[in-house]
Chains A and B, each alone.
Chain A
Amino acid sequence: MPQITRDEVRHLADLARIDLDDAELDRLAPQLEGILDAIASISAVAAEDVPATSHPVPLSNVYREDVVAASLAPEEALSGAPQVEQQRFEVPRILGDEQ
């Protein structure tokens, strides 16, 4: 039986860069445990020698000719940005307190 504790959910949310408050943790943690219970059954189904499939249609590398094609103008690329400065994406400081 897999275990996923409230603390683990908090840690995973942190890895996924989502702030979860206590009320959300109270709600999501037991649901995640339930989901995990329901899907854990598969952990012993496939034998060692079964190959993994990551993609439904087998593909080898796909190449294209290296030719110039139309692309977005800078204004278009920046059109959805929360903040723009001198034709660039403006972002908050990137170093955290601990760095």
Chain B
Amino acid sequence: MSDLTRLTAHQQAELLATGEVSSVELTRAHLDRIAAVDGAVHAFLHVDEHGAIEAARAADDRLSKGEPASPLDGVPIAVKDVIVTRGLPSTAGSRILEGWVPPYDATVTERLRAGGLPILGKTNMDEFAMGSSTEHSAYGPTHNPWDLDRIPGGSGGGSAAAVAAFEAPLAIGTDTGGSIRQPGAVTGTVGVKPTYGAVSRYGLIALANSLDQAGPVTRTVLDAALLHELIGGHDPRDSTSLTDPVPALVEAVRAGAAGDLSGLRVGVVKELGGEGFQPGVEARFAESVELLRDAGAEVVEVSCPHFEHALAAYYLILPSEASSNLARFDAMRYGLRVTPEGDPSAEDVMRATRDAGFGDEVKRRIILGTYALSSGYYDAYYGQAQKIRTLVQRDFDAAFAEVDVLVSPTSPTTAFPLGDKLSDPISMYRQDIATIPANLAGVPGISVPSGVADEDGLPVGLQVLAPQRADDRLYRVGAAVEALLEERWGGPMLAQAPELEVAR
């Protein structure tokens, strides 16, 4: 059998269905690939060989009886370490949760297990999902499979790199300000942030509750749709979970893949381009827009004037929510406890533990949030940021009255060298300039590969945004762009990535 790990999740599921390959073989192939390349990539914080093989055996049992638990039964998956997994360590990339083994499953995890997907392991991330490069992980950065000296994006760099390096066909990510989409863009993979509330947040270690959303990280748009349909849908344990049925996403992919976008109205967001956007990113974006036009879409420019304030509003709202969320790490019930000398009080223990357990970026954001919520500053900062959130939503409403979807580059630059932005938080934050508005407004977004930049040969992503609850539009447009570009390239985007050296 040729290399199974190069197949898409959908192709892998087909081989499982016909019995040509067993889930144990498939899962073993991915575990072997992890052993061969993850020393260099460092996409995983924890690999669960035993659990994955056990789950694969159970899948083979169901498949042999012709009773698959889901269309992806037996296809292995990697899970971002911010999603809790019963019996498997879940650190969220933080020292404060080092070695913590959750006693329960997140709803996403539960649905993956119920669907029969063997969980290969937990993927690396910026601590508590705070970052755009995975360099803020307490356990060391993940390396971009396209160039190991560069960042894989963040916070979900581990999930994106795992998929890009063929260590897993599928992964789960979470997106608070772009943490699924930006890593997708800089690793040449597909990432979807569903409508807020479309995927349960129960068991997702919260960064900012009003912004967080879990979603698929894959190599193809069809694989993303298959995974989204599996994990989406109402969950009574998350009171913000949408009660609507999951839209027909796989069907939307099939419709889009024919490459005909006649009748679709596309808006190019004027404010998401120009200054700060790398020339190679803008060139690939312009080509994608041409491609949409050639496919029959009507393309117009739209203005979203308040997007220029979205970044600032986000960096007040997020730290404010995070500073209250992370108060739960108090060294009393779970996680790290550092006990200072002498006869310390509980508060002394808390202070020492939080100093030792949190990294710099987490401390910066907790302090910033504490500041923004202080009396005297609340109205000027947090209050204003919430008003800007309203204005950003109104910009989206106005735009979607004119067009069906909006497009922009996903990230203003390609993958930058590791260490480049570590001492300059603001330039790191600017990575999220194009992805943040969607989180503020709760609308869904996808990033699909749109080629490599001329100046550095590194991947560029196209972002497509749709109105709340219209996630199916992302899949239709994403599938069309993917099909048309692959036809032009003569194969998938990742075929252009250099081969990783294999450890023996």
Contact = CB atoms under 8 A, between A and B. Distances in A.
A and B associate: yes
A19 B355 contact: yes
B387 A50 contact: yes
Main secondary structure of the interface of A (DSSP, over half): loop
B402 to A, nearest CB: 21
Given A42-B384, A51-B390, A81-B333, A15 B425 contact: no
B218 to A, nearest CB: 24
Contacts of A64: 236
A19 B352 contact: yes
Contacts of B236: 64
A69 B393 CA distance: 38
B70 interface: no
B368 A17 contact: no
Interface string A30-70: 01101110111111011000111111110100101000000
B393 A45 contact: no
Interface string B181-224: 00000000000000111000000000000110000000000000
Contacts of B389: 52-53, 56
A82 B370 contact: no
Interface residues of B, number: 74
Contacts of B256: none
Contacts of A19: 351-352, 354-355
Q: Which 8 residue pairs are nearest across A and B when measured between Cβ atoms?
A: A56-B442, A80-B334, A46-B387, A52-B386, A82-B337, A76-B103, A39-B312, A19-B355
Interface of B: 100-104, 195-197, 210-211, 236, 239-240, 242, 306, 309, 311-313, 315-316, 323, 327, 330-337, 339, 343-352, 354-355, 358, 360, 363-364, 366-368, 370-371, 374, 380-381, 383-391, 393, 425-426, 429, 439-442, 468
Interface of A: 4, 8-9, 12-21, 24, 27-28, 31-32, 34-36, 38-43, 45-46, 50-57, 59, 62, 64, 72, 76-77, 79-83, 89, 91-97
Given A51-B387, A56-B210, A57-B442, 11 more contacts: A16-B367, A18-B358, A19-B354, A35-B429, A40-B312, A56-B211, A76-B104, A89-B332, A92-B344, A95-B345, A96-B347
